[in-house]
């Protein structure tokens, strides 16, 4: 849990929906950089904040990432940083996070489906965007199928996509 906890938790000892937003922001920064939240005395959030403030945000992007439009990377980094703001009220709501993720996803170019080999399991994704986002992916080794439901598959919320987010404090 070290590195994922909302800084305000240490003062209040209360976890809230915005605590979850903070933790998700740390995960976003991990995905972006390939770094752990705390490693060799360095704090991931502080490192990315410093890179952003010096105008070098793209310098912390994991070089193992495949090609991605710079604007998508910058928006994803900005989203991760907004989620990791120290002040709870300055963080976006989970619904705002979903909206921004959808915007970023829609900005990414379409690609052909390419199966990936992960150890002994084959993972394939169907990124076809004809009308909907990816509908499912499966891990062949365990024969487990996971349904990916885009927020456009859900109705009843005020999100443009129709997602009905549900977050509960722990």
Domain ranges of the chain: 1-109, 112-170
pLDDT of residue 68: 85
Phi and psi for 100 in degrees, rounded to 5? -70, -40
pLDDT tens, the chain, 170 aa long: 688 998 888 899 999 999 999 999 999 999 999 999 999 889 999 999 999 999 998 889 998 988 888 899 989 999 999 999 999 999 999 999 999 999 999 998 876 544 444 343 333 333 333 333 333 323 333 323 333 344 444 444 555 566 555 655 55
**8 A C-beta contact, residue 71 and residue 78:** no
| Residues forming beta bridges with residue 137, ordered by sequence position | 125, 146
What is the architecture of the domain spanning 1-109? Orthogonal Bundle (1.10)
3 state SS of 107: helix
Q: What is the pLDDT of residue 146?
A: 31
CA angle 159, 161, 164 (to 5 degrees): 55
């Amino acid at each position: 849990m070290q590195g994922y906890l909302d800084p305000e938790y240490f003062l209040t000892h209360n976890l809230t929906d915005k605590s979850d937003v903070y933790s998700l922001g740390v995960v976003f920064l991990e995905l972006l950089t390939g770094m752990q939240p705390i490693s060799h005395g360095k704090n991931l959030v502080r490192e990315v904040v410093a890179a952003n403030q010096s105008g070098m945000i793209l310098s912390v992007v994991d070089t193992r990432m495949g090609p991605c439009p710079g604007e998508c990377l910058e928006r994803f980094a900005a989203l991760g940083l907004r989620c990791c703001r120290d002040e709870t009220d300055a963080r976006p709501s989970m619904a705002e996070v979903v909206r921004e993720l959808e915007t970023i996803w829609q900005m990414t170019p379409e690609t052909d489906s390419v199966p990936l080999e992960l150890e002994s399991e084959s993972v394939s994704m169907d990124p076809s965007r004809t009308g909907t986002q990816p509908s499912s992916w499966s891990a062949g080794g365990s024969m487990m199928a996971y349904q990916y439901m885009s927020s456009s598959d859900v109705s009843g919320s005020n999100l443009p996509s129709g997602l009905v987010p549900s977050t509960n404090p722990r």
